[in-house]
Amino acid sequence: MAPPLHAHPRSTLSKMSLHPAQPQTSVSPTSTFSSSYSVLPPKPSSFSTSSNNPPSTGSTSPSPVTFTSLISKTPLAKLPPVPLPEPSPFPTKESNPHRSKRPPLRPLPHTTGPLFKHQPFTVSWNIPDLVCKRYNISLDTSAFKGVATPAKVPGQFLSLFYTDRLGLYPHVDLVGRKQLYGGIPQRGNLRASMNKARADITYYITSKTSRGLAVIDWEEWRPLWDRNWGTKRIYQLLSVAHAMQTNRSLTVEQATEKAKQRFQVAARSLMSGMLTMGRAMRPNYLWGFYLFPNCYNYGWLEPGYSGRCSKEVRRQNDELLWLWESSTALYPSVYLQASLADNPRAALMVRNRVQEALRVSSLPRRSGGAAPVFVYTRPVFVDQNRRFLSQGDLVSTVGESAAVGASGAVLWGASADYDNQASCESLSSYLSSTLNPYVTNVSAAAQLCSSFLCRGNGRCVRKHYNSNHYLHLNPDSFRVVHIQRRYLALGRATFADLKALSRGFTCQCYRGLSCTPRTPRELAKALRFSRKQGLHQKARTLNKAALDDMQQASIPKDNTGKNLKV
């Protein structure tokens, strides 16, 4: 099984519900998709406007997403709920949304459209399940949009390329004390590596037309010379030795400068070449390197920690413009150490890492808009892999990623995390009790906000990235229920819910589209318009079917969830 992705350091929820707009489909025998959601339509609002005419589709109507109100004589409050998240579990001085002085909002660059239509934020599953299957322990991943395993399985929605799965990656085996494929980039055989990579891509991504994520996980060295510290300094030493062997007249200082230059040129050729080949061979996959960009904001145990990336780190990330230009997606990591469990500094660490990824994604001038950001996280702590993240920790990782403006999150797991019956049983329980309800909550809230506030033409992004506004459904308006192996968000947003979203969020438009945030007047019109679509009869039918299913299905009941505000 694959090695861990990252050895470096890497809140309670509200009640909501959704209804699947499309049946579940499958990309391959090893890759499945959960049903896409449509947030249920808002309740009528008492907000009045001067116009009684229905708004035009282009300006005030909801997006093409189907909004269906579930109307029934059965009160919504009687639906069996699944626990959801709290608003801002960890208010901090740095992220206080009520601070009086705010910098003016900067215009956001256009971004590429969502991977799945009308799904501005998606969460994918990339956790091994071989041992759990062996024990006949089912893992309910119905809340996830894409499901894959890190194992060597071709044709998956998410293809993860470790060092032995893509080309001939030059690196040093520190344990075996061996230099593989030249050891350092400037001694690698680029042509042979690209030839093997072509065969690897053909094998692992079998379809030329399917869509998905392609993540290259090369962690042995970093393409910037100065970032190869600690155990990675071996690459500097070997590079200097190689330069001096090539030209024995060089001084150590001259050899070091020459080695730095040649190392970075070779690293760039190898990394950008792999991305270029991947894009050419499988253009519908989103290609990028895991852990890039990084913020190196590891000092959360220090007093006054703000989580912000240093000026030096940002400057170095700017030097990697060639990498951002070659990537069609960015995959930063926000794995948590146990020292950040239920800690407000976890949110600070995550939001600044995601914010830096969003910043560098907008540096290249590309016609398709800024590259999407998919944030890697884990359901367990890096240094305590039998301990699951709490709901508050999920808010600090998945919730932060969605609120700051990421396109999605990827939950990754190591084979060592789930290697016996007990760990598999714990994962199965965690999915149903905590993870699935929260993933459903955030996905639904992101869709609701996008459809109403951004007219379906963009995703909602915090007005001020360092605030405590989250994309969570109002527990007074929504419930999450589990019906026939699916998590559904049932309910209707109110005008107050939409106004709350508009206070904390603005819109980032998809390429070529206009998504100016709706004003309160326009939101009210969109609300009324959604009720004039002739869906009431359909809503009654859907609601009756849902309630009938609930009587037959086993509905998990847990009243420990606390209210969550938008």
Number of alpha carbons in the 13 Å side-chain half-sphere of residue 516: 6
Q: Locate tokens 């109307």: which residue? A: 71
Closest CA to 143 of 434, 566, 474, 406: 434
Peptide bond into 293 cis (omega under 30): yes
Name residue 509's beta-bridge partners. 458
Tell me, yes or no, if 219 is annotated catalytic.
Answer: yes
Q: Count the Cβ atoms, other than its own, within 10 Å of residue 52.
A: 7
Q: Which is catalytic among the residues 86, 94, 219, 356?
A: 219
Strand, helix or coil at 116?
strand
Cβ-contact 147, 34 below 8 angstroms: yes
- Amino acid occupying residue 560: T
Q: Locate tokens 């469990």: which residue? A: 341
Q: Which two tokens stand for residue 380?
A: 């367990």
Q: Which residues contact 552 (CB under 8 A, 6 or more apart)?
A: none
Q: Which two tokens stand for residue 249?
A: 């007249």
- Amino acid occupying residue 405: G
Closest CA to 465 of 552, 555, 347: 347
- The DSSP symbol for 223 reads S
Cβ-contact 374, 409 below 8 angstroms: yes
Q: Locate tokens 């600044």: which residue? A: 352
DSSP string over 101-151: --PPPPPPPPBPPPSBTTBSSEEEEE---HHHHHTT-----TT-SEEE-SS
Burial pattern 511-535, b for ≥16 Cβ within 10 A else e, equals eeeebebbeeebbbbbbbbbbebeb
Residue 23 CA from chain centroid, whole number: 23
**34/150 Cα distance (integer angstroms):** 18
Q: Which two tokens stand for residue 406?
A: 């990421």
Residue 365 CA from chain centroid, whole number: 23
Range list of H helices, 66-188: 130-134
Closest CA to 154 of 115, 216, 108, 201: 201
Closest CA to 409 of 500, 471, 501, 458: 471
Q: Which residues contact 514 (CB under 8 A, 6 or more apart)?
A: 455, 457
Number of alpha carbons in the 13 Å side-chain half-sphere of residue 502: 20
Question: What residues are annotated to the active site?
Answer: 219
